[in-house]
Amino acid sequence: MPHHVAILAYDRLCTFEFGCAIELFALERPELEVPWYSYAVCAAEPGPLRAAGGLVLQVQHGLEALDRADTIVIPGWRGADHVPGAELVDALRRAHARGARLCSICSGAFVLAHAGLLDGKRATTHWRYFAQLAAGFPTIRIEADALYVQDGTIVTSAGSAAGLDMLLHLVRSDFGVAIANQVAQRLVLPAHRDGDQAQQVARPLPSVEGDPVAHTMDWIRENMRAAHTLASMAQQARMGVRTFQRRFKDRTGLSPLDWLVRERVALAAQLLETRPALGIEAIADLAGLGSAESLRRHFRSRGMAPPARYRRQHQRQEPTTTA
């Protein structure tokens, strides 16, 4: 039997994310010569359902269709503050218990979080929602720089377009690289970003006059090679450790040490792209990661390509200035 995918629809549906799932799983692809997915669109509540852009959907199936799905896709959600209904939560828990693969795009992670299915797991969502997800569900290990994260049978993706990367990852997992490449070619997308590219979205945290956390972050960025501990960062901010941790997480949605590792990985990636003469060991040292092995481990944990391959894929020269 073909792998069966259930695509969730709901009132105030996110049209782009929903369209991505339809494009991947609902189109016939006879040119691939494989038993392509079967699918069902499932309504989370009675219709008709409103969708972004003024569209209205009448959906044939209800939540009972989730009980037959091998994979369930949650294409966004109507709001990070909106708690999903008990029937939807129960259906997702049943699906997870029997081993179905559960996947969310963007804010859809909040549905899985409310169902308790992300507790203690690695996950991601759109960068705008990191702080809210962390505050509401503190046991989730948020991976801030990943396009998508798979932890067991649960896969979460970042901002809207990252959903396509995640969906191609599912195709690659189910049918192999060659088939996934053909699908990517039809979509006019890169065949494989390895789930390996950090979200290339600037998330600046402007320095606030008199804000010791912001000033400490700026100071650390200027001294990335130095050894930093939670205690030394709190001392730089002239705060107690617990106060510093709380203030830092309120400001960034991350713990100080998680933020530090993210900044070091970002610096290493920048150096790989712009400093072709620097060896991997030197880059690891300048970024404060210690060794090439540590650098490779941190890249791998974020789903990024190994440093040498990352450099080949992204190498560019720093602009030069002339007098």
User: pLDDT tens digits, residue range 273-311?
Assistant: 888 888 999 999 999 999 999 999 998 887 778 899 888
Contact 142/113 with Cβ under 8 angstroms? no
What number of other Cβ atoms are within 10 A of residue 101's Cβ? Answer: 21
Q: Is the pLDDT confidence value at 18 over 80? A: yes
- The secondary element (H helix, E strand) that includes residue 74 is strand 71-75
Q: Which of 14, 20, 103, 106 is catalytic?
A: 106
Report the distance separating Cα 304 and Cα 314, nearest Å: 12
The share of the chain scoring above pLDDT 70, in percent, equals 90
Which of 144, 17, 148, 151 has the alpha carbon at shortest distance from 75?
Answer: 17
Report the distance separating Cα 210 and Cα 130, nearest Å: 25
pTM of the predicted model as reported, rounded to 2 decimal places:
0.62
Where are the alpha helices (H) located in the chain, listed in sequence order? Answer: 15-25, 86-97, 109-114, 130-136, 162-175, 177-187, 212-222, 230-237, 241-252, 256-274, 280-286, 292-301, 307-314
Q: What is the pLDDT of residue 46?
A: 87
Q: What is the pLDDT of residue 210?
A: 64
**106 labelled catalytic:** yes
In degrees and rounded to multiples of 5, residue 156 shows phi and psi of: -120, 145
pLDDT in tens, 170-222: 988 888 877 888 888 888 776 545 443 344 443 444 444 567 888 898 889 88
Could you give the domains of the chain?
4-187 (3.40.50.880), 212-314 (1.10.10.60)
For residue 269, what pLDDT band results from cuts at 50, 70 and 90?
confident
Pick the range with the lowest mean pLDDT from 114-128, 196-210, 222-236, 264-278.
Answer: 196-210
